């Protein structure tokens, strides 16, 4: 089983980030966190890295359902979505597969929520570009 859904788009990096954020909003997600990996690696260890952004996305309704079923599920939230430069003309957008993440937890109700989130995240990725 793969642990992510990905799509490569022909957009400038910043446009891909904006398109991803908008697609997340259309499907009920907000961006709670944003980690600029390129900037962090440069500041912390002086490494030169390609543009790479981690968006911590959350669908409040789905998060609430998951928390009601499993109070420690917050260790696996929010859902990470990455936007990374592949080459001068290509940007890849990837989202975690929540079903793969939740396989370690024996809770059938949580599996149903993860499947719903998976469907939404697949739609987000399909909408970009």
Q: Is the bond preceding residue 34 a cis peptide, omega within 30 degrees?
A: no
Cβ(5)–Cβ(95) under 8 Å? yes
Q: Are 83 and 57 in contact (CB under 8 A)?
A: no
CA distance 74 to 105: 13
**pTM score, whole prediction:** 0.94
At the second CATH level, the architecture of 4-127 is 2-Layer Sandwich (3.30)
pLDDT of res. 24: 98
pLDDT band of 60, cuts 50, 70, 90: very high
Q: What is the rounded CA–CA span in Å between residue 77 and residue 84?
A: 21
Spacing of C-alpha 98 from chain mean position: 10
Tokens (6 digits) for 128: 């970009």
The count of other CB atoms within 10 Å of the CB of residue 106 is 9
CB 53 within 8 A of CB 17: yes
How do 90-96 and 4-9 pair as beta strands?
antiparallel
Give the tokens for residue 20.
């991803």
Encode pLDDT of 6-52 as tens digits: 999 999 999 999 999 999 999 999 999 999 999 999 999 999 999 99
């Amino acid at each position: 089983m793969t642990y992510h859904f990905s799509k490569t788009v022909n957009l400038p990096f910043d446009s891909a980030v904006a398109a991803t954020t908008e697609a997340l909003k259309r499907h009920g997600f907000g961006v709670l966190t944003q980690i600029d990996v390129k900037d962090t690696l440069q500041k912390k260890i002086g490494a030169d890295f390609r543009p790479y952004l981690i968006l911590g996305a959350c669908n409040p309704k789905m998060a609430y359902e998951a928390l009601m079923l499993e109070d420690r599920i917050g260790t696996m939230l929010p859902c990470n979505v990455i936007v990374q430069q592949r080459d001068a003309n290509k940007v890849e957008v990837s989202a975690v597969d929540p079903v793969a993440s939740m396989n370690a937890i024996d809770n059938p109700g949580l599996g149903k929520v993860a499947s719903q989130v998976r469907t939404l995240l697949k739609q987000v990725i399909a909408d970009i570009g």
